[in-house]
């Protein structure tokens, strides 16, 4: 009986290792964090864009990030200040409301700049971002694990 239990335990351990190896086999394909094969040229995010269109989009994207760097930094700072205020035992309601108003204004400014970028990108490459849920994809939000306040 002891021999059968040992054999069953050994098979269970091997099965767990075997399944985990299969489950993790796709990792390390070289795409980076949360960027699967759909982000390659010719499929997914860039669709079937030419190399020139992709280069132009990358340049516009870099310009967008440079142009919005200050706004994104201010958003980050204001959000930290608001979180700090709300973490106090007796938060100052007026200060928290003021910070939230400033955050809303900065977020609105950033959203407007993002819209302008999207329109400009669409003019540069008419097939840009078509068929990819028409937006930024899943898990690309503004949460603390989303990489800040830019949506990328």
Q: What is the pLDDT of residues 102-141, one digit of tens each?
A: 999 999 999 999 999 989 988 888 777 665 444 444 444 4
Please give the pLDDT value at position 83: 95
Predicted TM-score of the model (pTM): 0.55
Assess if CATH 1.20.120.1490 describes domain 47-134+144-152: yes
- Sign of torsion, CA 98 76 34 134? positive
For residues 53 and 124, the answer to whether their CB atoms sit within 8 Å is yes
What's the CA angle centered on 81, arms 105 and 142, to 5 degrees? Answer: 55
Across the chain, mean pLDDT equals 74
Considering the chain, what percentage of its residues have pLDDT values greater than 90? 38
CB 141 within 8 A of CB 151: yes
CA gap 55, 38 in Å, rounded: 18
**pLDDT score, position 130:** 64
């Amino acid at each position: 009986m002891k021999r059968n239990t040992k054999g069953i335990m050994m098979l269970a351990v091997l099965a767990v290792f075997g399944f985990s190896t299969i489950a993790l086999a796709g990792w390390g394909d070289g795409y980076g964090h949360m960027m699967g094969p759909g982000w390659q040229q010719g499929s997914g995010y860039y669709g079937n864009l030419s190399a020139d269109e992709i280069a132009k989009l990358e340049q516009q994207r870099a310009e967008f990030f440079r142009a919005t760097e200050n706004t994104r930094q201010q958003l980050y700072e204001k959000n930290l200040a608001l979180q700090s205020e709300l973490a106090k035992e007796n938060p100052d309601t007026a200060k928290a409301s003021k910070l939230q108003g400033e955050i809303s204004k900065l977020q609105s400014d950033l959203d407007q700049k993002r819209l302008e970028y999207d329109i400009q990108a669409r003019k540069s490459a008419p097939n840009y971002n078509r068929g990819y849920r028409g937006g930024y994809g899943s898990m690309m939000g503004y949460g603390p694990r989303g990489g800040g306040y830019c949506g990328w």
